[in-house]
Structure 1
């Protein structure tokens, strides 16, 4: 009986692939993900692992790229995870509709205000890293208007006055350098920055020079953005990467499976001038950017 069910699912996928345009190809991932559960593939997941480093094993012939201790790359690779099998939860405590896309949930709290969407979650990761490393003066992001908003000026009491695309900053509050003030600052960033501002503000990275912390972005309103959280190389210098994302509606940050190449999932290969398909998004012309 299972054999007939499997064959039926394969037929469904083939029909969908034939009827789906290349731009819509990622829509078939919902079905392909179900079949992946039924097909024997290499399993690189250690269910007991409590960080990205310990949760995901390496394919044969690969070793993890070395990064300096205390770097942003090291921070992401060792980021703590929720217990294996934890669901993706939206900001309103509802479950995200697609629970088969991920192999891990990062321990990134989701505010109940619904502001922390895809780009916001990654800006939070970067800002919290700088906060923890006592590099607070480096925390700052551009609004979509192009105006730079730093944590330093916010902490000193400066607030933006926004009129369309015109932004000016005025000292209207008492200085407050507390952690609570820091998260209010992030909510402001989440409101006025996003994928479009990040793609405009940050330098682009050549696919041959990618490292942990670099982001795959589709600029737009809406657009989408995902971040590299681990990096492995083989003896020939070929690289594999792990991708994580926040999403809309605001929800848990998750480590993504790879439905396009299940033999190495959740690892990804990136090839110059080739589209990237992830469970939730199709990047037709991949652009990679890097935090300064």
Structure 2
């Protein structure tokens, strides 16, 4: 009887807390007939596919409050937002790219253009230089000792988030055709006064229909959890988007066009 009771208890616990099916971006299911596009080892696309997802689908703001609109996301990345209103849309694009490069030890490639055109690189910051801002002019000044720790890396990103945005990201990235899309590509509009940017997180292909599909992620205003977007135009395909889809590309909170596609 004791053994039966324990089994019953275990069943009740499992029912109340079912195992999480989606642990990483690569666990997001594909529509029938599709296979994920192969990504080179140690590539940005391979990295994005391994990013962890949270145990629920709630998007939180930087201050811990829940975002008002909880209908835009399919899944949420398990990546901190910080406690300041900094990591918004373009900043999320920068964060993902920078995290990949930092974890790969490719420090010299961590360079982002600020709104005034200044190329703000991580190596200068890690070597102890700090940004001196005078009006619209920036220059490095050595103020601290060398430190390549992750904490210093996050401080550098907060600096970039403070002075970069969709306009500077739009200027830094290279425009590519939709046929050239790869995971890590970015849809970005510089806007006036505000733009928006989203990252292509994963891609798959149907060898029968020759259709290619992709996932998108975003942060938004105010700063919030980075999340994988639903496809509001095609509930059967969602959260995937089709490369064959006509302009415009409707996401839950923004409209993009094929001409908005860029890459690092």
Preserved contact between residue 188 and residue 197 of structure 2 (Cα < 8 Å): yes
Shift of 1:110: 1.1
- Is 1:268 aligned to 2:235, yes or no? no
* Alignment check: 8 A CA contact 2:166 2:189 kept: yes
Q: Which position in structure 2 is the counterpart of 1:77?
A: 49
Contact 1:276–1:286 (CA<8 Å) still a contact in 2? no
Q: Does 1:229 align with 2:201?
A: yes
SS of aligned partner of 1:146: coil
What TM-score, normalized to structure 2? Answer: 0.87
Aligned to 2:12: none
Q: Distance in 2 between matches of 1:168 and 1:119?
A: 23
Alignment pair present for 1:129 and 2:100: yes
Distance in 1 of aligned mates of 2:145 and 2:48: 34
Instruction: Confirm or deny: 8 A CA contact 2:173 2:263 kept in the other structure.
Output: yes
Select the residue among 161, 168, 171 that pairs with 1:190: 161
Runs of 4+ with deviation above 4 angstroms: none
Q: Report the Cα distance in structure 1 between the residues aligned to 2:35 and 2:83, rounded to whole angstroms.
A: 39
Asked whether the 8 Å contact 2:23–2:52 carries over to 1, the reply is: yes
Structure 2 unmatched runs, 5+: 1-18
How far off its partner does 1:285 sit? 6.1
Q: Does 1:120 align with 2:91?
A: yes
Equivalence for 2:37:
65
Q: Relative to structure 2, which stretch is displaced further, 248-257 or 57-66?
A: 57-66
Say if 2:110 and 2:121, in contact at 8 Å, map to a contact too: yes
What pairs with 1:67-216 in structure 2 (closer than 5 Å)?
A: 67-83=39-55, 85-216=56-187
Deviation track 1:36-56 (CA, whole Å, cap 9, x = no partner) reads xxxxxxxxxx951201111x2
Query: Distance between the aligned counterparts of 1:52 and 1:285, measured in 2?
Result: 24
State which drifts further: 215-224 or 72-81: 215-224
| Distance across 2 between alignment mates of 1:167 and 1:272 | 43
- Which residue among 197, 218, 221 is the counterpart of 1:248? 221
